[in-house]
Amino acid sequence: MLAVDFDEPGGPEVLRLIETSVPKINEDEVLIKVRSAGVNRPDVIQRQGNYPAPHGHSKILGLEVSGIIEKVGDKVKNFLVGDKVGALVNGGGYAEFCKANENSVFHIPKNISFDEAACIPECFFTAWSNIIMRGELKKKQKILIHGGTSGIGIASIQIAKLFDSYIFTTVGNNQKVSFCKKIGVNKTINYNETDFFEEIKNSEISSVDLILDFIGGDYINKNINLLNNDGKLVNIGFQKGAKTEINFMKVMLKRLTITGSTLRIRNNSFKGKILNDLVKFVFPEIEKGKIKIFIDSVYNLEDVVIAHKRIDEGKHIGKIVLNI
């Protein structure tokens, strides 16, 4: 089968097509003939040599796919050959065939394409597990979501809207500001024009209950200072660095929770719990069109270098997809 590989870490230009063997499935796995694969920031970090695949899993890039089931393991109960599915995977998505554990596989919701289905797993699993399961977002709470036009940002915004949240977000240009307004964000801040901390602190709603952040660095203390008593800061990335100095007196006095998580290394049972919630609460909203999948651009597998240049630029709004 065709797949994407690289010999040495580096920029998009290190990616190349190779011929490799079709993965063999275990008894609780399915083999998917991939139609579409999502491109995500962790793929970039892995390409750069800073996020290796978990032990025992494919080193091929790609954490989310959609396609048609080619083969099922002996203990798989809920899927048949020929089913149209999406899946969250630990690697191997940039390929003609990919295997997935049954707990992370779902039947594609009605009324969406393979391209759209491939945009669901990484972003919606991550958003739900962090703002709902870990952040414990409640009805009508106030939330700050950094990176509002990323895949995770857009998914998080739409999930927060289901909870009637007041939503702040940060983005890097005015085109992205306009997009966020269209999808229902209450206040969007262009961080290249103004400091998000000052903008929120001086607004009518000057603090928040929950913050989802994958920026880190100097954002961390600003986030802490924006949280209400008993507020929660959930970190899922550190684009500006993982180290900073924190005054824990503020954390103590406001009874804050500072936490973080990664999804890729979690076990299949945990991912199955997330998927159960998504099927129950999110997929019906996707089928009704209330939650939308926003795609920035679609590339063929042989154009993976161009796709990675696009995500590296940071100008995309929504998801980048590879057609296999």
pLDDT at position 147: 96
How much is the pTM?
0.95
Comparing 86 with 244, which gets the higher pLDDT?
86
CATH 3.90.180.10 intervals, the chain? 2-123+264-323
Residues of the chain with CATH 3.40.50.720: 135-260
> Sign of torsion, CA 25 102 87 125?
negative
Q: Which backbone phi and psi does 157 adopt, to 5 degrees?
A: -60, -45
* Residue 255 pLDDT greater than 90, yes or no: yes
pLDDT(83) > 90? yes
The whole-number pLDDT of residue 241 equals 87
Q: Which of 103, 111, 87, 110 minimizes the C-alpha distance to 34?
A: 87
pLDDT in tens, 236-253: 999 888 899 999 999 999
pLDDT of residue 214: 92
The chain-wide mean pLDDT, for the chain, equals 97
The pLDDT of residue 276 is above 90 = yes
DSSP notation for 104-131: GEEEPPTT--HHHHTTSHHHHHHHIIII
- Across the strands, what pairs with 107? 85
From the number of C-beta atoms within 10 Å of its C-beta (0-12, 13-18, 19+), residue 268 rates as: middle
Q: Residue 300's pLDDT is what?
A: 99
Contact between 121 and 283 under an 8 Å Cβ cutoff? The reply is no
- Among 122, 114, 113, 67, which Cα is nearest to 89's? 122
- Model confidence at 305, in pLDDT bands (50, 70, 90)? very high
Residue 282: the pLDDT is: 98
pLDDT at 1: 98
Strands 97-101 and 29-39: antiparallel
Question: What pLDDT, in 10s, does the model give residues 105-130?
Answer: 999 999 999 999 999 999 999 999 99
User: pLDDT class for 182, splitting at 50, 70, 90?
Assistant: very high
**Topology of domain 2-123+264-323, per CATH?**
Quinone Oxidoreductase; Chain A, domain 1 (3.90.180)
Tens-place pLDDT, residues 215-233: 999 999 999 999 999 999 9
Query: Nearest 5°: CA angle at 141, between 140 and 143?
Result: 125
Give the model's pLDDT for residue 240. 87
- Per the CB < 8 A criterion, the answer to whether 200 and 206 are in contact is yes
Identify the pLDDT of residue 261.
93
pLDDT at position 239: 87
pLDDT for position 266: 94
d(CA 270, CA 276) in angstroms, rounded, equals 10
Q: Is the pLDDT of residue 87 over 90?
A: yes
Q: Is the pLDDT of residue 269 over 90?
A: yes
Q: How do beta strands 97-101 and 257-260 pair? A: unpaired
Give yes or no for a contact between 157 and 184, defined as CB atoms under 8 angstroms apart.
Answer: yes
Asked if CATH classification 3.30.1330.120 holds for the domain at 135-260, the reply, yes or no, is no
